[in-house]
Structure 1
C-alpha cells in the first residue's frame, strides 16, 4: 500500500514547489486522494474549494486549493500531521 505522502509526490512530482500552480489532472487526482483520507474537511470560498485531509495512522496532513471546476489547483501541501486538535 502506498502512503498518502508517496501518492501526493507521485501526483505533483518529487521537486514540487508550493508556489507553482497545478493542472486539471493534478487538481482532480489530489482532491480525490484527500477526499479518501480518514479525516477530511472541505471548504468552499467563492471560486475555490480547499480540500484538507489527515491520517493519524500515517502522521500526515494534505491540503490543496482547487478551482471550483477543478481545471487548476494551487497551494498543494504535504506535511507531518500537526494540525489535528491544534487551536
Structure 2
C-alpha cells in the first residue's frame, strides 16, 4: 500500500477491491485518517452537520405536510387516503 498524502486519489492498495484500479478503498481511508487525525475530525464534523441539516429538512417537510393535510376537507381527505392506499397496494403487488 502507498498513501499519497498530497494527492490521496493517487494512493494505491493491493486489496481485492483496489488492486489495479484507481479507487480509494477503506484501507487507504483508515491509514489516511490515522496519519491525519485533524482531517478525520473535520470529516466527522461535516457529517454531523449534514445529518443535523437533513433532520431539520425532514422535520420541516412533515410540518409542511401536516399543514397541507389540515387544509383538506373530510371528503378530500377520504379521496386522498383511498388513492394512497390503492397506490401502496399496487406498489406492494409489484415488489
Report the TM-score range of the alignment, normalised by the length of the smaller protein. Answer: under 0.3
Q: Which has the higher helix share?
A: 2
- TM-score normalized by structure 1? 0.22
Larger radius of gyration: 2
Higher-RCO chain (CA-CA 8 Å, sequence separation at least 6)? 1
- TM-score normalized by structure 2? 0.21
